């Protein structure tokens, strides 16, 4: 059984017990435990079920490479699935639930799949769930969804908060093991700004577990000294619990800091996403141990040799009383030695190699009384939910059992692979290291930055250096090279520390154990534990023609689980290469993509959630609208009142009331969102003549003119009223959504095409609160406020004037988008609410009511005024809308003029704007199409028009609409048919788009 | 995510401060131009694999446009320069020649 | 006229790792024109009371001063009630030259982030190197604050002033309050 030892556990604080539950069972660990070490200390080796066959699975690793130990963590608003037990620090009150089993972890119905495993080979889903097609939706998908999947999706809203942080440094060191620490110290000594990230809570990486002597002192002493030195450096910053998640273009790195995962009840953000821009990145990301592929290598109790060692040394946890070590390298002997030192039994070390003589470590193990069998391996591990024994065989043979050894744990080591992920994310190439049978960074082909030079340098085990002395030298040299390239200088006396060398025997690649394992054994030799991919599956994929590594990956799902193949990748490639009779480097690797280890969606979103998910733009009168029943409508990022609903009133009724009131009495509209752009300079008139289709240079000061803007494609992009302020100044109104866009459009043409023209533009949209005072009582209302003369003679239609009203400094435009007597009045934004209040008071006896955007739409539609975004959609030219009168014939040029001469634009069959009146007074559905005779080449009915705006007009008490119709203006009086999505067909007559006050008498009083 | 230096305000910033504006040094054709000229101006772009001259606006910064010479495959930036020019300046061309010997500008499709 | 009001009525937020306060209304005038011209320098010193700042910098004396916005744009800042007087002075100095001066005081909202963690709070939202030595009083930076444009400078160590558009004042205030939430110290600077 796995248990807590009486001694050991360098990371534990044994005076602090920590209580937690697993599947409802109360358990106890210590401060400093991971959930994995605490589970093992409670003899909970079985932690989950595999994805496909639901086989019992135990903890395999001690770090982020763990494929099996995934749990649902937390409850309610702190619930999160797929959390790795090996990277979860234990805290008081932690609750974990194992995943992927039903009804229970110990007894799982889905495990029947394992008996069907010969029917569920690679590509099973692709081969089986194809026909009949109708089965997909109702049979296959529901079944697959029920039986597949890992953790549960959270049901509650996440109660935690998250944030981003922008950080900059000269040298970013990723990894806080000895290589990272040494590289950071070296870089720090040069004066460069250094940031050092470590994913765990502890500095030093594997070194304290694996031991050694640096500069004549134990590793621990070296670590204490270097950490103190780094902490004292002003130019160095250290962050633990922060993983280098991804390396991107131009030195951009995402760091993932887990601030509260180990202390979820403390105040503050849970995760912080570091958005780092580094001059150069040193990846000191270490290496991962590889499993060995032998039958039964997935049975709980079979673990990586390094993990077994970690649990003993770091957490004082024995994973078994009797541990068989199986290896192809010297490193695993450290595990046997550590276990012996802890007083545990190691019945045998099975070493697949045949060596002429013992290495130092082999001799040490033997001296401790451990039996070592060279040239041997495991034929098969026995047990179901726990290892019970191993069958020993010759590695060179086919698996004939020579001997069985009882044990409750197996520590395996297939060699080490440098963590090249971060090196590779942004294009770093790899080379095959034959001596260590692994891919390591090809430093001649580093990822290239903005200057075309490499910006990532690997150091230590991440660059394929495995001996402690080599690691330290490599880290020092890497940092030296990096700071030199950045223009910093190391002090002359800076040298790498020297570690005592240990002469290890060379490892020997072993991709299948035994090498001649037959199909029965291969079918039980797992490569990918989480996705249930076995040696036999990869071979089958190769035989079926999936010879590209990327294809084989997708066909077998090898490396596609949440661990992204950290353990399985190289072993899988080797099997593929072996089957194809190719060299491993020729087969190549799959692509390493960020993040290195899953990061939370919350961290990616950062602060952008809840009220600050997106900016909401508010006018100066926003709060008043809110208090007075505004039903909000988003218009771009602005919020505008759609209508002001009174108590008990429906939104529709409110809109009808607002229209009627404005037509008969007085309405106020908050028009502050409309864009206001000042255009000034000697060439301003010439410039506006290019911007607008009509002539703006001839506008007289004091006057206003409605104008249209087109893109160079000829399409209508915006409209609005332009006022000429003085000789060289114009003020252009844009649509609500158009202010920033049109300001940018003007700046673009001025800066990039006509840069010699003397014109300045300034976006003053938000300087003003603008209020439309509309209706027959509008003038009376302003006269009540008192001040400037707003009579017809003093301020005629389409004129503007500066003055005061009710003591407010203002600019008044006599313009109308409703057909009524109307003034648009601009005051400084800071006066907006006070002015609005003054108008409400002055208008009190005159029937004043605020109105919203829907009322505005109905008022303009009754008058046949177009709306950008309704009548125009990016494919409409002014000529389509009967706006030929607003296109100057006198100008040689304006933006869009040349495009409007193209054959398609002058085609008489372009759909044109008309009014539409239903024959029965009902309201046409928005966006409905008019059907014509015959069918098109796709067998669909021919369309001859569509509705662009449609409303119930309370003024006319009937439905009115505008639409674009083939030869529309020539077909007045004709009745068109519009099939609705409600099954009804609507009939509407083509009429003039101006429904109300055709002569325009009302606005011109 | 790229970093670019705006020659107008001297700020080196990440890509999120900028807005990309497509190929640089297009010649405008207006009324009176042929169908081919106008089509070329409005629609045809060189889309090279390699050296590209492009327009950027420092949208969240000084608001000004500028030009960048950049490699579209390696993302190497050869330099940024004024928007108020109809062709790349010599020092930019020299840098490109230095880093991509024998380089020739991409043709726009006819 | 009534008392001019800032967008959020000088709201403030304390209790976090930095205090956030909306100040203002502050007087602001956008100046456009040839910054190398002698008449522009004169206009700036006549109306702004300071020398024309260099690229990327600002010259402030308490609440009065001028910031460099772009190669042809400056921002003159002054007490709100001095705007019309200063605008008149600028326009006088500009005479009929090709230049623009426009009052934008009401188009903006201004926030001060203060306290020892002020740099950190802003660095959570703006992609700018705000480390001591890299960003100091005298510098002026236009950038992005989360999803909106902003300009920022340091009044003194531990106090950063931010200018944003008025319509997003509430968004920015909420944003800064979130970034300053208790327990969110970064400890990086």
Question: A174 pairs with which residues across the strands?
Answer: A197, A283
pLDDT value at residue A138: 72
Task: Determine the Cα–Cα distance for residues B99 and A708; give it in Å rounded to an integer.
Answer: 48
Would you state the pLDDT for residue A142?
Answer: 67
Q: What is the DSSP letter of A876?
A: -
Which sequence spans correspond to the domains of chain B? Answer: 1-26+40-87
Query: Is pLDDT above 70 for A826?
Result: yes
What pLDDT was estimated at residue A130?
A: 62
Per-residue tokens: A483 = 């700071």
Rounded Cα distance, C24 and C3, in Å: 12
Per-residue pLDDT tens digits for B43-88: 999 999 999 999 999 999 999 999 999 999 999 999 999 999 999 9
State the pLDDT at residue A413.
98
The residue that leads in pLDDT, A104 or A229, is A229
Burial (CB count <10 Å: 0-12, 13-18, 19+), residue C83: buried
SS3 A422: helix
CB of C144 within 8 Å of a chain B CB? The answer is yes
Q: What percent of chain A has pLDDT over 90?
A: 89
Supply the DSSP string of A98-161, one letter for each residue. Answer: E-S-SB-SSSBGGGGGGGGGGGS-TTHHHHHTTSSTTHIIIIIHHHHHHH--SSPPP-SPP---
Percentage of chain A exceeding pLDDT 70: 96
**Is residue B16 within 8 Å of residue C127, measured between CB atoms?**
yes
The residue of C20, C81, C122, C171 whose CB has the most chain A CBs within 10 angstroms, and thus the best one to mutate to test that interface, is C171
Interchain CB contact of C141 with B (< 8 Å): yes
**C54 — pLDDT class (breaks 50, 70, 90):** very high
Burial of C82 (0-12, 13-18, 19+ CB in 10 A): middle
The pLDDT of residue B41 is 96
Tokens of A828: 């400084």
Which ipTM value was assigned to this complex? 0.98
- Cα–Cα separations (whole angstroms), residue A314 to A3, A39, A205, A279, A321: 14, 14, 11, 35, 17
Q: What is the distance between the alpha carbons of residues A864 and A881, in angstroms, rounded to a whole number? A: 10
Q: At what angle are helices A333-341 and A305-315 packed, to 10 degrees? A: 30
Please state at what angle helix C38-48 crosses helix C83-94, rounded to 10 degrees: 160
Query: If pLDDT is split at 50, 70 and 90, which confidence band does A328 have?
Result: very high
* Superfamily classification of domain B1-26+40-87: Folate-binding superfamily (3.30.2270.10)
A481 vs A282: CA distance, rounded Å: 11
Average pLDDT value for residue range C108-125: 98
**Per-residue confidence (pLDDT) for residue A149, from 0 to 100:** 57
C158: left (phi over 0), alpha (psi -120 to 50) or beta: left
Write down the pLDDT at residue A594.
Answer: 95
Burial class (CB in 10 A: 0-12, 13-18, 19+), A364: middle
Q: Do A830 and C5 touch (CB under 8 A)?
A: yes
Residues of chain C contacting residue A272, judged by C-beta atoms under 8 Å apart = 186
Q: What is the rounded average pLDDT for all residues in chain A?
A: 94
pLDDT at position A1 is: 81
Chain B CA closest to residue C144? B60
Residue B18 structure tokens: 């900028």
* A252 interfacial to chain B (CB closer than 8 Å): yes
Residue of B nearest to A893 (CA): B31
Residues 107-166 of C with CB under 8 A from A: 107-108, 120, 123-131, 134, 146-148, 165-166
Name all chains with 3 or more CB-CB pairs below 8 Å to chain A: B, C
Judged against a pLDDT cut of 70, whether residue A145 lies above it is answered with no
Model pLDDT for residues B76-97, shown as the tens digit of each residue? 999 999 999 999 999 999 999 9
Phi, psi dihedral angles at A860 (to 5 degrees): -75, -35
At A720 the three-state DSSP class reads: strand
Scan for tokens 């591990």, then name that residue. Answer: A381
> What are the structural domain ranges in chain C?
25-103, 108-179
Mean pLDDT throughout C126-145?
97
Asked if A537 and A124 touch (Cβ cutoff 8 Å), the reply is no
**Mean pLDDT computed over A811-837:** 97
Tokens of C28: 């602001």
DSSP secondary structure string, B61-79? TT--EEEEEEETTT--EEE
Domain C25-103 adopts which CATH fold?
Answer: Alpha-Beta Plaits (3.30.70)
Report whether pLDDT(A460) > 90.
Answer: yes
Chain A window 162-221: which residues touch C at a Cβ cutoff of 8 Å?
Answer: 163-168, 193
Same topology, domains C25-103 and C108-179? Answer is yes
The verdict on C91 touching A (C-beta cutoff 8 Å) is no
A109 pLDDT tier (thresholds 50, 70, 90): low
A165 → chain C, closest CA residue: C124
Contact state of A831 with C2 under an 8 Å Cβ cutoff: yes
Q: What local confidence, expressed as pLDDT, does residue A1004 receive?
A: 85
Mean pLDDT in residue range A714-741: 97
* pLDDT tens-place string over residues C31-49: 999 999 999 999 999 999 9
Percent of chain C with pLDDT over 70: 99
Rounded to whole angstroms, the Cα distance separating A462 from C140 reads: 42
Contacts 24+ apart (CB under 8 A), A6-11: A6/A316, A7/A316, A7/A342, A8/A312, A8/A313, A8/A315, A8/A316, A8/A342, A9/A313, A9/A314, A9/A315, A9/A316, A9/A317, A10/A208, A10/A313, A10/A314, A11/A202, A11/A314, A11/A315
Q: Is the Cβ–Cβ distance between A148 and A99 less than 8 Å?
A: no
Site of tokens 């290598």: A297
Distance CA A525, CA A159 (A): 43
Residues of chain A contacting residue C145, judged by C-beta atoms under 8 Å apart: none
In which band, very low, low, confident or very high, does the pLDDT at C154 lie, cut at 50, 70 and 90? very high
Burial A234-272 (b: 16+ CB within 10 A, else e): ebbbbbbbbbbbbbbbbbbbbbbbbbbbbebeeebbbbb
Q: Which CATH class is domain C108-179?
A: alpha beta
- B60, B65, B82, B84: best to mutate for the C interface, most C CBs within 10 A: B60
HSE-CB at A208 with a 13 A cutoff on CA atoms is: 21
- CB–CB contact C106 A829 (8 Å): yes
Angle C76-C79-C84 from CA coordinates, rounded to 5°: 70
Average pLDDT for A565-589: 91
CB-nearest to B9 from C70, C127, C149 is C70
Q: Chain C contact for A453, CB < 8 A?
A: no
How sure is the predictor about A51, in pLDDT bands with cuts at 50, 70 and 90? confident
Beta-carbon contacts of residue A4 (< 8 Å; ≥ 6 apart)? A41, A316, A317, A318
């Amino acid at each position: 059984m796995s248990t807590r030892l009486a001694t050991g556990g360098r990371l534990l604080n044994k005076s602090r017990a920590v209580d937690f539950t697993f599947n409802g069972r109360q358990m106890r660990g210590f401060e400093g435990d991971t959930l994995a070490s605490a589970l093992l200390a409670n003899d909970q080796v079985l932690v989950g079920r595999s994805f496909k066959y639901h086989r019992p699975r135990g903890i395999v690793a001690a770090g982020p490479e763990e494929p099996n130990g995934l749990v649902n963590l937390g409850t309610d608003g702190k619930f999160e699935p797929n959390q790795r037990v090996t990277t979860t620090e234990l805290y008081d009150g932690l609750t974990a639930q194992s995943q992927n089993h039903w009804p229970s972890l110990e007894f799982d119905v889905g495990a029947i799949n394992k008996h069907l495993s010969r029917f569920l080979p690679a590509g099973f889903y692709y081969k089986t769930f194809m026909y009949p097609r109708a089965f997909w939706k109702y049979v296959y998908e529901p079944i697959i969804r029920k039986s597949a999947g890992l953790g549960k999706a959270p049901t509650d809203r996440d109660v935690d908060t998250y944030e981003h942080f922008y950080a900059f440094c000269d040298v970013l060191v990723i990894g806080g093991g000895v290589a990272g620490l040494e590289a950071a110290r070296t870089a720090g000594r040069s004066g460069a700004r250094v940031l050092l990230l470590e994913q765990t809570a502890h500095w030093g990486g594997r070194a304290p577990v694996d031991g050694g002597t640096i500069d004549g002192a134990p590793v621990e002493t070296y670590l204490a000294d270097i950490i103190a030195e780094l902490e004292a450096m002003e130019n160095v910053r250290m962050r633990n619990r922060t993983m280098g998640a991804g390396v991107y273009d131009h030195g951009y790195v995402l760091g993932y800091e887990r601030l509260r995962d180990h202390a979820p009840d403390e105040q503050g953000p849970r995760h912080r996403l570091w958005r780092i821009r580094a001059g150069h990145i040193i990846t000191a990301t270490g290496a991962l141990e590889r499993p060995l592929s032998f039958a039964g290598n997935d049975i709980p109790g079979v673990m990586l040799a390094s993990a077994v060692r970690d649990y003993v040394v770091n957490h004082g946890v024995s994973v078994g009383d009797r541990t068989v070590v199986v290896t192809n390298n010297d490193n695993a002997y450290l595990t046997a030695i550590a276990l012996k030192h802890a007083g545990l039994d190691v019945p045998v070390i099975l070493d697949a190699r045949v060596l002429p003589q013992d290495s130092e470590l082999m001799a040490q193990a033997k001296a401790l009384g451990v039996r070592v069998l060279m040239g041997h391996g495991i034929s098969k591990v026995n047990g179901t939910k726990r290892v019970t024994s191993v069958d020993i065989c010759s590695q060179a043979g086919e698996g004939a059992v020579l001997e069985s050894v009882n044990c409750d744990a197996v520590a395996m080591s297939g060699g080490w692979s440098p963590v090249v992920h971060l090196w590779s994310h942004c294009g770093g190439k790899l080379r095959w290291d034959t001596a260590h049978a692994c891919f390591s960074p090809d430093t001649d082909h580093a990822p290239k930055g903005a200057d075309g030079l490499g910006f990532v340098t690997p150091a230590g085990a991440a660059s394929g250096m495995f001996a402690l002395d080599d690691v330290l030298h490599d880290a020092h040299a890497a940092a030296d090279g990096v700071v030199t390239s950045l223009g910093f200088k190391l002090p002359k006396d800076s040298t790498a520390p020297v570690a005592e060398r240990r002469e290890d025997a060379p490892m020997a690649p072993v991709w299948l154990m035994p090498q001649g394992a037959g199909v029965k054994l291969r079918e039980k030799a797992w490569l990918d534990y989480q996705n249930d991919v076995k040696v036999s599956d990869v071979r089958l994929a190769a035989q079926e023609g999936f010879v590209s590594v990327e294809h084989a990956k997708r066909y077998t799902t090898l490396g596609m689980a949440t661990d992204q193949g950290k353990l399985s990748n190289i072993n899988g490639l080797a099997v593929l290469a072996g089957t194809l009779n190719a060299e491993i480097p020729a087969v190549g690797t799959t692509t390493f993509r960020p993040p290195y280890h899953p990061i939370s969606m919350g961290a990616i979103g950062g602060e952008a959630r809840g009220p600050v998910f997106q900016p909401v733009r508010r006018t100066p009168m926003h709060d008043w609208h809110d208090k007075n029943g505004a039903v909000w409508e988003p218009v771009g990022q602005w919020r505008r009142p759609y209508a002001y609903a009174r108590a008990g009133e429906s939104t529709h009724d409110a809109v009808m009331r607002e229209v009627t009131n404005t037509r008969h009495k007085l309405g106020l509209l908050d028009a502050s969102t409309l864009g206001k752009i000042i255009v000034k300079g000697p060439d301003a008139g010439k410039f506006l003549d290019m911007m607008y289709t009509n002539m703006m240079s001839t506008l007289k000061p004091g006057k206003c003119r409605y104008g249209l803007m087109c893109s160079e494609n000829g399409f209508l992009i915006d409209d609005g009223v332009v006022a000429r302020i003085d000789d060289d100044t114009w003020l252009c109104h844009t649509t609500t959504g158009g202010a920033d866009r049109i300001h940018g459009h003007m700046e673009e043409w001025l800066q990039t095409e006509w840069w010699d023209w003397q014109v300045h533009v300034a976006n003053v949209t938000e300087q003003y609160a603008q209020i439309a005072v509309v209706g027959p009582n509008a003038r009376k209302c302003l006269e009540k406020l008192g001040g400037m003369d707003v009579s017809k003679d003093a301020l005629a239609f389409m004129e503007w004037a500066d003055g005061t009203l009710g003591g407010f400094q203002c600019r008044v435009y006599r313009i109308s988008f409703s057909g009524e007597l109307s003034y648009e009045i601009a005051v400084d934004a800071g006066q907006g609410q006070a002015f609005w209040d003054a108008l409400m008071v002055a208008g009190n006896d005159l029937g004043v009511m605020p109105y919203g955007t829907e009322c505005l739409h109905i008022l303009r539609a009754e008058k046949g005024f177009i709306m950008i975004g309704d009548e125009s959609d990016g494919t409409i030219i002014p000529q389509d809308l009967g706006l030929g009168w607003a296109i100057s014939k006198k100008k040689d040029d304006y933006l869009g003029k040349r495009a409007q001469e193209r054959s398609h634009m002058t085609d008489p069959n372009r759909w044109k704007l008309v009014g539409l009146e239903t024959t029965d007074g009902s309201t046409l559905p928005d966006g409905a199409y008019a059907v014509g005779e015959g069918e098109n080449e796709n067998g669909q009915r021919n369309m001859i028009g569509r509705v662009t705006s449609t409303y119930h007009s309370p003024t006319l008490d009937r439905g009115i609409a505008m639409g674009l119709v083939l030869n529309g203006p020539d077909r007045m009086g004709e009745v068109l048919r519009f099939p609705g999505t409600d099954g009804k067909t609507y009939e509407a007559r083509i009429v003039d788009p101006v429904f109300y006050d055709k002569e325009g008498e009302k606005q011109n009083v | 995510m790229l970093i670019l230096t705006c020659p107008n305000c001297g700020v080196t910033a990440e890509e999120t401060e900028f807005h990309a504006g497509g190929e640089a040094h297009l010649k405008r054709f207006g009324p009176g131009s042929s169908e081919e000229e106008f089509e070329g101006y409005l629609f045809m772009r060189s889309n090279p694999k390699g050296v590209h001259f492009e327009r950027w606006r420092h949208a969240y910064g000084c608001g000004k446009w500028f030009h960048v010479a950049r490699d579209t495959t390696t993302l190497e930036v050869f330099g940024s320069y004024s928007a108020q020019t109809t062709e790349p300046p010599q020092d930019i061309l020299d840098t490109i020649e230095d880093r991509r010997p024998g380089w020739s500008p991409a043709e726009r499709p006819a | 006229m009534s008392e001019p009001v800032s967008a959020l009525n000088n709201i403030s937020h304390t209790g976090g790792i930095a205090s956030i306060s909306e100040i203002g209304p502050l007087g602001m005038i956008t100046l456009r024109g040839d910054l190398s011209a002698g008449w522009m320098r004169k206009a700036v010193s006549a109306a702004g009371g300071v020398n024309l700042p260099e690229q990327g910098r600002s010259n402030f004396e308490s609440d009065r001063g001028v910031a460099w916005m772009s190669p042809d744009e400056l921002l003159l800042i002054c007490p709100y009630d001095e705007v019309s007087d200063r605008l008149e002075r600028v326009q006088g100095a500009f005479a009929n030259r090709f230049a623009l001066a426009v009052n934008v005081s009401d188009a903006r909202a201004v926030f001060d982030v203060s306290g020892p963690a002020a740099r950190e709070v802003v660095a959570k939202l703006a992609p700018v190197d705000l480390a001591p030595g890299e960003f100091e009083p005298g510098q002026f930076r236009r950038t992005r604050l989360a999803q909106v444009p902003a300009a920022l400078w340091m009044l003194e160590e531990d106090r950063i002033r931010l200018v944003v558009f008025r319509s997003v004042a509430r968004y920015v205030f909420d944003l800064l309050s979130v970034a300053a939430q208790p327990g969110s110290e970064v400890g990086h600077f």
